[in-house]
Structure 1
């Protein structure tokens, strides 16, 4: 079976009739940014199913109230007891904005990749046929209201002072859960004292997962959010963890650019001047997050105002977002240090751990985004080098959640949807060209 066929089989095997599991058992629900990447994979061989993935995700979008437009990081479309924390732990049932929902959700979000992925999906449809392009345009028009509402939630609820740098209030919200960038702000968060049972260690070796001390703090923050009735004003006033994550900021910036392009292409007649203004604010404010030590962007502790001067892969997304600094030399230096493309934390940093989740392993979808940015900055050779490394990982180790950047060994969950989708969308075509295929 070819790599392409294996990737398709993984998406088909993880399909639950409209939404796709990241992987069975370990992650039994629909995850926010996973769904956007996974839709790219479906678009390569089942376009109708790709658009369905996006529609299912937006079934969980909150409507009305202070969190109007909020899109949670987990949509609990069907019950499962193999994951903690499940729907009951989040306690969002009946929260303002959820009254009309038939899908239960968590209370935090994730990096808003959606508009960019939707634009890429539309571009792929345009390359197929005029009919496919017309059908995709209709799907995009249907998604635009939800996409616009979600971006406006980010700017309204997470940047009420209009600083240009949105906040996040939970490490899970960054998508890069236990990154060493969060060690300092997370240290002041109390540890939960109530009992709970993790299920992840029944699926993946503990050496590849966050430690218990991390879980105690993120559970505390989950409970804190619930105690504030999910009110963004109350949360930002007293949450002990408030971070300006360069990953979320970069992904939101690029997604807003792509969202405006989608609105223009669809002749959207609504007022989008607020998005133009938000883009300008961020483009100016982002320079405050530049690290001269690492020659890349980093995150900032919003409570103390101090830079979290840790070199993570999220800080290489500046080119993807269209920010000013040329990241080519920094990425070239990273690539010279590890044989399998870009790890989630630079290998020369003291907190680098090659096996442990977001403290060192390679995450293929993040490398895809960084490569896209490098291509845009005129560094095609670096983008191609990253793509070639990613293709080699897929060939050698299959479709895992993440990979050891030193040995190439697959880590975390197996038969992983966004790894399969990234291969189909990004590396499969390149591999065929290298092999002399179509």
Structure 2
């Protein structure tokens, strides 16, 4: 990734080209870890579905900036820009385009069917997988149509050559014939203005010391979708690659990154999973356009996050219900400490903490609930939440601290064990609530996880460590942010500064991947993950604020 006068330049293999509010984007990534040779229009309504394939008729290099996608060849160029959330404009000057159905197979239950609309002459693909239509309206030039009304496997689409321009729209059943908003360059200018306003709002503090701030903002801006299906609010998906959901702890980090500049959008992120809170008070594991999953939950970091959001809607009642779920449905009889039913509940799906057993009382869960109970006590001082927080904290220290480290305990067997997972050190989020010796022991163990690039989730040198082991080694954004914040409140600002600096440098080197190889810094898995971009913005903004207070010397460290 590089910066240019027109904004950051990025690779489509890493980050899709899209627009705030849109449910589709343009990318060669067509499935999990699967890359095509050509760029595709990929829709995220009802899942991740490649719909149209865009192939220049001659070799061309691709350049992507936040407001314009360009194919440039020896004799011409193709440019694409968003006119609105559901419409793009595409024009060619001397370079042709094959715009075809991505799936050549056509059955009653798969593949785009192409027909010409007799009302306005447009070419329309109707797609079973998304339940939507994709209308192509030719604005200038000539196009050869392929496979119109074909009912068998065949190439279906348009072939354009010379100078031409068209519009592509995604919609449901019918809409008025396309009418544009203005010339192509005006469309580009409007898209750029929208993105520039977003960057100015979320990262007004950016300087040459924060070179990835604009790209981080683009990752958030471009992954935002308008309300549709089960997505009840404007929502920042985790990615417009295959991780195209809102998980019920990921959203907290996106809310915090947006909080200062776009508080209304931040509150939408925070509240979206609560729109689907069940009768027991539990939040869903995840929400996406056409699916809500309750088979797992996610850790209760929502009290921690709420305390860092600006004043907004009353969140007391849903937060109280979410907390009560853990106190009533996730505590065995006679136990003070709650349990996870699987590693997935913790967000650390395969962490080594869960190797001996899956139904486990863990120190991170108790610590998060202490913070959540404290937040409820702030909102309702006379409701007894503070006393429950004291009991939870005291039980955590009495039952899971063995004098040197926190251990986990099987909720069914009662046996305890320690692991080399960073998860066991997460109680540092309690900060000043922990006794000084406990804080010191946790800080020392945390430092052992610190590689040149950041905090490894499994201790390097552990026999269980894996370079690409998901939560068994790689560096992740949420653990970094939570531990960095806890260390500051625990009285270890220098270590927090170092963790922040290394993670920011990692993002500047390797982008905003879902996670990173702790030994090499290489980005792993989904390469356009919004909570990673949010973590960069959160840490960079805090660093710039500290630098402003401390003077220019502080700006070069921490």
TM-score w.r.t. length of structure 1: 0.70
For the Cα contact (< 8 Å) 1:335–1:341, is it kept in 2? Answer: no
Query: Which residue does 1:306 correspond to in 2?
Result: 415
For the Cα contact (< 8 Å) 2:284–2:297, is it kept in 1? Answer: yes
Selected match of 2:285 from 68, 73, 79: 73
SS state of the match for residue 300, structure 1?
A: strand
For the Cα contact (< 8 Å) 1:243–1:301, is it kept in 2? Answer: yes
For structure 1, which runs of at least 5 residues remain unmatched after alignment? 80-86, 88-103, 123-135, 186-240, 265-270
Q: Greater RCO between the two (CA within 8 Å, min separation 6)?
A: 1
Selected match of 2:460 from 347, 368, 371: 347
For the Cα contact (< 8 Å) 2:366–2:393, is it kept in 1? Answer: no
- Mapped to 2, the partners of 1:317 and 1:333 lie a distance apart of 11
How far residue 344 of structure 1 moved from its aligned partner, in angstroms, is 0.9
Query: Which residue does 2:390 correspond to in 1?
Result: 280
How far residue 117 of structure 1 moved from its aligned partner, in angstroms, is 0.9
Change (3 A) 1:383 1:169: same
Query: Which residue does 1:116 correspond to in 2?
Result: 304
Selected match of 2:264 from 36, 48, 52: 48
SS state of the match for residue 184, structure 1?
A: coil
Alignment of 1:12-411 (within 5 A): 12-17=221-226, 18-63=234-279, 67=280, 69-76=281-288, 78-79=289-290, 87=291, 104-122=292-310, 136=311, 138-139=312-313, 141=314, 143-161=315-333, 163-185=335-357, 241-264=358-381, 272-273=383-384, 275-287=385-397, 288-291=399-402, 295-321=404-430, 322-324=433-435, 325-336=437-448, 338-411=451-524
Query: Which residue does 1:91 correspond to in 2?
Result: none
For the Cα contact (< 8 Å) 1:61–1:70, is it kept in 2? Answer: yes
Query: Which residue does 2:86 correspond to in 1?
Result: none
Change (3 A) 1:263 1:418: farther
- Kindly provide the CA deviation profile for residues 49-87 of structure 1, in whole angstroms up to 9, marking residues without a partner as x: 001112222111013xxx2x11121124x12xxxxxxx4
2:505 is equivalent to residue 421 of structure 1: no
For the Cα contact (< 8 Å) 1:60–1:105, is it kept in 2? Answer: no
- Mapped to 2, the partners of 1:311 and 1:336 lie a distance apart of 10
- Mapped to 2, the partners of 1:327 and 1:289 lie a distance apart of 15
SS state of the match for residue 409, structure 2?
A: strand
How far residue 160 of structure 1 moved from its aligned partner, in angstroms, is 4.7
How far residue 370 of structure 1 moved from its aligned partner, in angstroms, is 1.2
How big is the alpha-carbon RMSD for the aligned residues of Structure 1 and Structure 2?
2.2
- Mapped to 1, the partners of 2:509 and 2:379 lie a distance apart of 37
- Mapped to 1, the partners of 2:343 and 2:445 lie a distance apart of 27
For the Cα contact (< 8 Å) 1:357–1:402, is it kept in 2? Answer: yes
Aligned pair count? 329
- Mapped to 1, the partners of 2:334 and 2:525 lie a distance apart of 38
For the Cα contact (< 8 Å) 2:216–2:537, is it kept in 1? Answer: yes
